[in-house]
Structure 1
Amino acid sequence: MSETMQTTQTTERVKLSQWDAIVLESVRALGLDGEELLRRVARGDLPPADGSIITDFAPLLTLHQEQPEILEQAVKQGYRIKYNTLGGINTWIRIVFGLESEVEREEGIEGVAVELTATERDLLFPVLSIGWTIEAQSGEAARTEATPYRVVPVRG
């Protein structure tokens, strides 16, 4: 199978740094919905980062202080990461989906291998920075309704 997702976005999402996106998703993973998250950030009252991959949620408070409209749009309408790294993609997948992925860093074959459902794939794809794509891989997935994918740099 050599399906590759193509970028065809109809609405432009705000852009977040990879770190801000990871911190945002770490707070969401604690069970806060969008409105509650925005209220708590505005009050400076975020839950403790105990047990999270991220140990400090302060970058979210800084983003709110410096660009409140960007944070609000990111929470309510989604975002795109400005620049992805292999490690950042791996961390985002772990926080958002609770999945372990395999990172390959060897030049020419770098990528992040992970099994995703169609819904997970469709949530991840628009978040990736320009220059990254998701390619379906052959093989059986261990999870029901999941497919093996690799998140890879676009090669021109």
Structure 2
Amino acid sequence: MSQWDAIVLESVRSLGLTDEEILHRTAQGDLPASRDEAIPSFEPLLTLQAEQPETFERAVTEGYRIKYNTLGGINTWIRIVFGREAEVERSEGIEGVASELTPAERDRLEPVLSIGWTIEPQQSGETNGEAAPYRIVPVRS
């Protein structure tokens, strides 16, 4: 799934719609208005549903992997899904997105990231379910 489609899907989810409601309302072309100025409309979901209905349904009900991530896209995804502001570092050689994540949030983000990205803990030891600092970085060879 494209990064933009994933961000738009998560924006719809953030409005409190269930998977069934998302599928039904998208099929009917009856999605609510976006409340996020960064997401001007939910039109991309209507297009995805019309052009690739099986892919869209699987993404909604089973999850997805983003085809290609960017630093800004990861930052936006974290903000929409977890309600956290992350820090983006764009300097060559140390690019990444820093954010506090709970273990559940880390586990939710990990399978969504495109191939070539990893989540690195920034402290050692058990967090007892509490949020801890992580960096989402490109895999370096």
Counterpart code for 2:31: L
Q: Secondary structure at the match of 2:65?
A: strand
Q: What is aligned with 1:31?
A: 16
Q: What is aligned with 2:88?
A: 103
TM-score using structure 2 length: 0.94
Q: What is aligned with 1:151?
A: 136
Is 1:122 matched with 2:104?
no
Is 1:66 matched with 2:54?
no
- Compute the displacement of 1:147 (Å): 0.8
| Count of aligned positions | 137
> Residue 93 of structure 1: which of 78, 96, 107 is its match?
78
What is the identity percentage for the equivalent residue pairs of Structure 1 and Structure 2?
Answer: 72
- Alignment check: 8 A CA contact 1:132 1:153 kept: yes
Is 1:113 matched with 2:98?
yes
- Unaligned runs of at least 5 residues, structure 2: none
- Compute the displacement of 1:50 (Å): 2.9
Deviations 1:4-56 (A, max 9, x none): xxxxxxxxxxxx00000000000000000101100000000000113453111
Deviates most, 122-131 or 46-55: 46-55
Is 1:75 matched with 2:60?
yes
Q: Secondary structure at the match of 2:108?
A: helix
Aligned mates of 1:91, 1:17 — CA distance in 2: 14
- Alignment check: 8 A CA contact 1:53 1:95 kept: no
- Unaligned runs of at least 5 residues, structure 1: 1-15
- Compute the displacement of 1:67 (Å): 0.2
Counterpart code for 1:108: G
TM-score using structure 1 length: 0.85
- Compute the displacement of 1:110 (Å): 0.2
Aligned mates of 2:38, 2:24 — CA distance in 1: 23
Q: What is aligned with 2:119?
A: 134
- Compute the displacement of 1:132 (Å): 0.1
- Compute the displacement of 1:136 (Å): 0.1
